[in-house]
Amino acid sequence: MKNILKWIGLVVGGLLGIIIIASVLLYFFLPLNAIKDYATKQLSDQLHHEVQVKGVSFNIFSGIRLTGLTVANRKGFDDAPLISADAVELKYLFWPLFSGKVIIPEINLVKPQILIEKSRKGDFNFSDMLASKSETRTTKADKRSQIDLIINTFSITKGKLTYYDYSTASRSKLRDVNLTVSGITLALIKPIDLKFAAVGSYQDKEVALSLSANLLIDPAGDYFKVPRFALGIAGQTLQGSVDLANLKKGPALEASLRGERLAIDPFIAFFAGGAPAKEEKKKPVHGALTQSLKAAFSSLPANLSGSLNLDLNNITLSRLKIDTLKTSISLKNRQLGLDIKTLSAYNGKLLVKGLFNLPALSYNLGQVELKGFDAAPFANDAIDSYFPDMLDAKNKIEGKLDAYLAVKGAGAEMPEVFANLAGSGTLLLSDGRLKKLKSLESIGEKYNVNLLKHDLLVHGLRVDFSLANRLLDVKRLNLQDTDLQAAFTGGLDFNKMEYRPGNRLNLKFSPAATGTLPKELSIFKDAQGFTSVDFELLGSLTKPKPSPRFEKAIEVGVGKIKAKIEAEKIEIETKAKEEVDKSKKQLEEEAKKKVKEILKF
């Protein structure tokens, strides 16, 4: 045992000795100040920004270390540096040092702080770094240089990134940013490998972000391909591929996305830009998302065209749940053509054809067909997501829902989305239930109609409507039930959340449902015993006041009286005629008798 420990000690001691000797020798081989000056000059020339490095050191394990790196910001932006880092680690190749050459294949930024700014004009503080080759300042190569900067791997460790958008007054922050880009020198024959991870925020909650991808870049700059990528947000992963070709003449994009069990909202927020930073303790600025989306879409090249194929399963958009979505989207002149052929949700199907104008955030859906949706969960999720003013309408409807619509509008945030929404269509509800509708319940309480105080079983409900400026015009509403038939025409004003004047609600009850009606309302009954009553709904949509309308009843009553009078008149005339005929006959008989007496005489 002692011999084993002795040999282990000798081996470890020998290795330490070799490391110490190599460190001393390499220190003399490495021109540290030359490396510092070379790196500073090369970075300044390539980035078009002043680069400063405070110090340089060497470690046999970590390599060459440049400390106190700063990259100046672009003129006209914040005084803070564009990039500042605790250190820049340059990984070197060991054996070329002994031939007097320093070859650096890997660069690592340690704890950098990166500031990205977007001006109100849409310029970025790094835009000048993307200068064309003709604008790029070049320096003469020093043939005697002992340094070769052949970067194969670039990485960032524990960085922080801050993004300001001055056009929308929004800010986003990422912390614990880790990035690795490797395979740069072999980019001509194999994809570059990219791995990214960070922690951001969404709705005041920390969200983990990740991205892994393979990149293929044409050396001539005419195409950019991502054969595979995986974007993760809050533990959810969206996979896909991107092919961007013909960059010089007219970019053509082809992309595909695949995902399982995804919440779409964080992805939308991630691409659209953030709200004020969490530590500022401010509420999100209303309209920031709209402005961010408009700015992002307006920056798309006008000649960009392409297509996107979606294959998503078990996804959510706000509270809405979608089982399957398979569709293709086309892009031309900053307009998206949408053709959803397969969307299953709430045990039903949805078909959509339409056009989206991206910079204007407007849309025109000329054909929307909804078939067989479970009405209760769908209506509740839609109200929770987009109609906060209508929470009282939750849990009021059951059954199978069908719809045929044509809608158009604009916007990305409520209440603007609803204010700009316009369209028309037909809704059908079958084999369902309407639960204690306020408008009918108030009538039932006032006139003691038990049928209206409880849930209504619905065999069939049809609504034809149009919507514009938050005004709903119901052209026809027909409800068929065993003991109740209902019809409604009129308007609902969602600006004031009240019924518009002049609406009419007609209720027609079977004899079995009207046993408790006051006798005074017997005038409303027809010959079959059905009672028909008209109302005008006044006031709030959530607590309407039914006002009975007697115009038709009066007409019916007057008609009945006229009919009675006419019947009595006919009866009197008939009796009078009969008396006349009887008197006439008696006179004739008497005349005949007199004639006979005269003849006898």
Tell me the per-residue pLDDT of 400-455, one tens digit each, with 9 for 90 and over: 999 999 999 998 888 888 899 999 999 999 988 887 676 777 777 776 666 677 77
Contact 157, 178 (CB under 8 A): yes
Give strand ranges (E) for 132-185: 147-148, 153-165, 170-182
| CA-wise closest residue to 190 among 213, 212, 211, 216 | 216
Higher pLDDT, 532 or 285: 532
| pLDDT, mean of residues 567-581 | 61
Ranges 90-104, 247-261, 324-338, most confident: 324-338
* Cα separations in angstroms, 398 against 382, 387, 404, 431, 457: 14, 18, 19, 8, 9
Reported confidence tier of residue 384, pLDDT bands at 50, 70, 90: confident
Instruction: Give the type of residue at 396.
Output: K
User: So what's the pLDDT on residue 570?
Assistant: 64
Rg (CA), the chain: 41
In this structure, what token pair is assigned to residue 580? 């006349």
| pLDDT, mean of residues 276-285 | 49
Is the model's pLDDT at 594 over the cut of 60?
no
User: So what's the pLDDT on residue 140?
Assistant: 43
User: So what's the pLDDT on residue 180?
Assistant: 93
* Cα separations in angstroms, 223 against 216, 251, 302, 308: 8, 9, 18, 17
Q: How far is it, in rounded angstroms, from Cα 267 to Cα 254?
A: 20
| pLDDT, mean of residues 242-249 | 85
Higher pLDDT, 45 or 371: 371
Q: How far is it, in rounded angstroms, from Cα 517 to Cα 553?
A: 15
Is the model's pLDDT at 36 over the cut of 80?
no
User: So what's the pLDDT on residue 137?
Assistant: 42
Q: How far is it, in rounded angstroms, from Cα 558 to Cα 502?
A: 24
Question: Which are the contacts of 270, defined by CB distance < 8 A and separation ≥ 6?
Answer: 200, 202, 209, 233
Lowest mean pLDDT among 131-135, 228-232, 342-346: 131-135
Reported confidence tier of residue 308, pLDDT bands at 50, 70, 90: very high
Is the model's pLDDT at 25 over the cut of 50?
no
pLDDT per residue as tens digits for the range 525-554: 776 777 888 889 899 887 888 888 766 555
Percent of the chain scoring above 70 in pLDDT: 71
φ/ψ of residue 263, rounded to 5: -100, 120
Higher pLDDT, 100 or 410: 410
φ/ψ of residue 137, rounded to 5: -75, 130
Percent of the chain scoring above 90 in pLDDT: 25
For residue 590, the surrounding DSSP H or E stretch is helix 551-600
Q: How far apart are the first and last CA of the chain?
A: 180
Q: Reduce the DSSP state of residue 316 to 3 states and report it.
A: strand
Is the model's pLDDT at 120 over the cut of 50?
yes
| Bridge partner list, 124 | 118
Contact 365, 421 (CB under 8 A): no
Contact 409, 362 (CB under 8 A): yes
Contact 468, 493 (CB under 8 A): no
In 268-296, which positions are buried (b, 16+ CB within 10 angstroms) versus exposed (e)? ebbebbbbbbbeeeeeeeeebbbbbbbbb
Q: How far is it, in rounded angstroms, from Cα 271 to Cα 266?
A: 9
Lowest mean pLDDT among 151-165, 180-194, 532-546, 547-561: 547-561
In degrees to the nearest 10, what's the CA dihedral of 307, 308, 309, 315? -160
User: So what's the pLDDT on residue 509?
Assistant: 80
| pLDDT, mean of residues 328-349 | 92
In this structure, what token pair is assigned to residue 223? 């195409």
Does the CA dihedral 321-325-331-336 come out positive or negative?
Answer: negative
Q: Is the peptide bond before 276 cis (omega within 30 degrees of 0)?
A: no
Is the model's pLDDT at 99 over the cut of 70?
no
| pLDDT, mean of residues 447-467 | 81
pTM of the model: 0.64
Question: Which are the contacts of 247, defined by CB distance < 8 A and separation ≥ 6?
Answer: 221, 222, 223, 224
Higher pLDDT, 335 or 446: 335
Q: How far is it, in rounded angstroms, from Cα 375 to Cα 300?
A: 39
User: So what's the pLDDT on residue 588?
Assistant: 55
Q: Reduce the DSSP state of residue 443 to 3 states and report it.
A: helix
Is the model's pLDDT at 493 over the cut of 70?
yes
Average of per-residue pLDDT values in the chain: 77
| CA-wise closest residue to 458 among 528, 515, 401, 393 | 401
Higher pLDDT, 153 or 345: 345
| pLDDT, mean of residues 189-203 | 84
Q: What is Dmax (Cα atoms) for the chain?
A: 183
Reported confidence tier of residue 246, pLDDT bands at 50, 70, 90: confident
User: So what's the pLDDT on residue 147?
Assistant: 56
Q: How far is it, in rounded angstroms, from Cα 563 to Cα 569?
A: 10
| pLDDT, mean of residues 44-73 | 79
* Cα separations in angstroms, 550 against 355, 504, 557: 48, 12, 10
User: So what's the pLDDT on residue 236?
Assistant: 81
pLDDT per residue as tens digits for the range 550-570: 665 555 555 555 555 566 566
Give strand ranges (E) for 1-105: 51-52, 55-59, 63-71, 83-91, 102-103
